[in-house]
Chains A and B, each alone.
Chain A
């Protein structure tokens, strides 16, 4: 029995060393060769989750790349931001979506929930440091262990195919072809359930910590970072935490400029649901955004005042 346990231990050890070695080597290769280059004309980039993904259509906005991805927490956005900034010196301004739901503890699941770890870890694992790995491991041990083979598989396949292009993994604008707004507004029970759920939400410290890290990395690369809030329906239940939201904004990010487009006026038919613009809404908003860029919003001292006045003019 002793010999059996001893040999089992040795062979397990050899196997673990072999796996770690392969992990390390493949990570180094992918890290070194990865390509995060975006269009050379992109002076502005937008990062965030579905709110900004469905709101900013680059077709109508000059010199912008929308790299937002639905269901993405700041934990994974951070991995993207540091690589994109590293390989794209042409970028001048980084817009980062900061919506009400991004402070909710639901975001923790967007970091280490099985679904999110399965999808994102294999893509971004070569760029994660010890601390990033520790967070995933300590919060979802099984999910993390399960994601390692996929991640290794992904990297080996990248190396064998010599495909280090990450452009497909950067997210981007998508047309949202739907309009559920009226039906959602009519369904008071669903809204009530969400309201109760949201009320119980604590703050996701991890998501906020990684937003700070995004801000820091932008600063390290000498890029201006601006937080934005994309247009939302005025009946959007996420506004419930507005007080907490403002508190975090003012305490944690008081030195960062914040542009609030949440009150941008749109009809129900221009929303996909209460928190996302559909393709029609995105077209209207993006054209307007391009318009205020041309009018020099980014050079204004009081940007939000200017935006509010433009929104007011639009309302009239």
Chain B
């Protein structure tokens, strides 16, 4: 973990240069430019709001578009970081074969690129909060911690995925499908309170309800998204019981993911 942070600092100029290149190239000849970055969460939010008109989802009195957008900000950041992170090594094949610098720069750059888009999304969220007359409170100081947590989750998957993708390109094909499924397994379209109501209170799955709930909270995104919604919209402290399982799981997996990446790195230039 410390080594990742150290590399992030040592190679900060390179990461900045590559991030800047990624952003400039993607939006150079696009008329809307970087606005495209925020169109995704906005569009998804509009679609979900439309669907909610047909399907009943309880939101505890808060406007559905607002809490869904608050859920979409970390989700889209995570999804895009992982998608780009997993492809980051293979799409830079020419650099890998010609010059050496620690290869984790590639997933790190992918993530920093998406951080820029995250910041723009926050601006949109601020506009929405003004529209719905929801004020941010002091609880909002939790946000940087949650963003860092999301980054750690994205990196854990990116390191492993990017390294595997060099050998088995199936990974890049499977990631979009896996992420779609994960979105349904995370409280993006529906709030966590719905899951809690069904499993913990109503015990809808019978004996397995509490175990299923625990399994659900093992998904780090659950803690992140619910946390985002709590501190920004509901103006309460985040529910730590929901965060612990996912956090511990990720902190255990991250070192292995990084170790795997560094082991595989030696042969990238030969196989890519």
B is a partner of A: no
Query: Which residues of B line the A interface, CB within 8 A?
Result: none
